[in-house]
Amino acid sequence: MPFFEVIGLVLSVGTVLGTNGINVAHELGHRMDKGHQLLSKILLLPELYMHFFIEHNKGHHKHVATDADPATSRLGQNVYHFWWQSVTGSWVSAWKIEKDRLQKAGLSIWSLSNEMLVYQVLQLGWVAAIGLYFGTKPLIFALACALVGVLLLETVNYIEHYGLRRRLLPSGRPEPVLPIHSWNSNHELGRIFLYELTRHSDHHYKATRKYQVLRHMDESPQLPLGYPGSMLTSLVPPLWFGLMNKRVEEARSKLVIQ
């Protein structure tokens, strides 16, 4: 197969892993029953991103729009720096969350009760199986596809909360998550491709609300482009900053402690 076809295949498969893999896993991971949660974890395996199940649900939704959240981008931060911040920070955060959970339960981190430990073994087994059965080149292909899927997710993360911050209450705690803490877009193409993830404010308001009934919220800040267009624009930082920084300042001016 010619090299340019391999690149095209990597991008195509990686896009499917990001949209029909991680994004669907994100939706199922918020369901309350164990069956859907198991499916979520299985969908995260090919991207080697199983820690997302822990960090997103117990970390991101708690700390979103604060500096404590590695998956919230800062004003003036470019997407390439953010990729590193979110990928590494989310993995470390997931380990910490799981360690704290085990300590409260009086369990050892070196046990099968440690989901992060189990995830690493499963992911290493997945990679080893591909390499041993198919060989080196297919293994590289699988890893490249996983990387594309992960970076697709992290680019979505980048645009969803870019520059938005929750103010601190007199108690020192951040204000509750409000519709004004997420960028939204009601463009139909992004809504279809990303399973209504573009109605992100309502998702953070009630994370267990199923994607097909998420609501558009007028009070949330709106992206000038749909999610696909915003993601592509973010890859060219000067264009993104020119498009978004003034809008961030306008959105911040509307922030009111509730």
Is pLDDT at 255 greater than 70 in this prediction? no
The residue whose two tokens read 């009086």 is 106
Q: Which tens digit of pLDDT belongs to each residue from 119-131?
A: 999 999 999 999 9
Provide the whole-model pTM. Answer: 0.91
Report CA-CA distances (Å) from 111 to 38, 51, 154.
19, 17, 30
Nearest to 152 by CA among 57, 5, 3, 21: 21
Q: Which tens digit of pLDDT belongs to each residue from 171-199?
A: 889 998 888 888 988 877 777 777 777 88
Average confidence score pLDDT of the chain: 91
Q: Would you say 153 and 82 are in contact if contact means Cβ atoms under 8 Å apart?
A: no
Q: What is the mean pLDDT of residues 142-163?
A: 96
Q: What is the mean pLDDT of residues 19-33?
A: 91
pLDDT at 93: 97
How many C-beta atoms surround the C-beta of residue 235 within 10 A? 13
The residue whose two tokens read 């690149």 is 7
Q: Which tens digit of pLDDT belongs to each residue from 68-124?
A: 999 999 999 999 999 999 999 999 999 999 999 999 999 999 989 999 999 999 999
pLDDT at 209: 80
Nearest to 64 by CA among 146, 147, 180: 180
Alpha carbons 34 and 210: distance in angstroms, whole number: 16
Alpha carbons 18 and 163: distance in angstroms, whole number: 24
pLDDT at 179: 84
CA angle at residue 172 from 166 to 177, to 5 degrees? 30
Q: Where are the domains of the chain?
A: 3-252
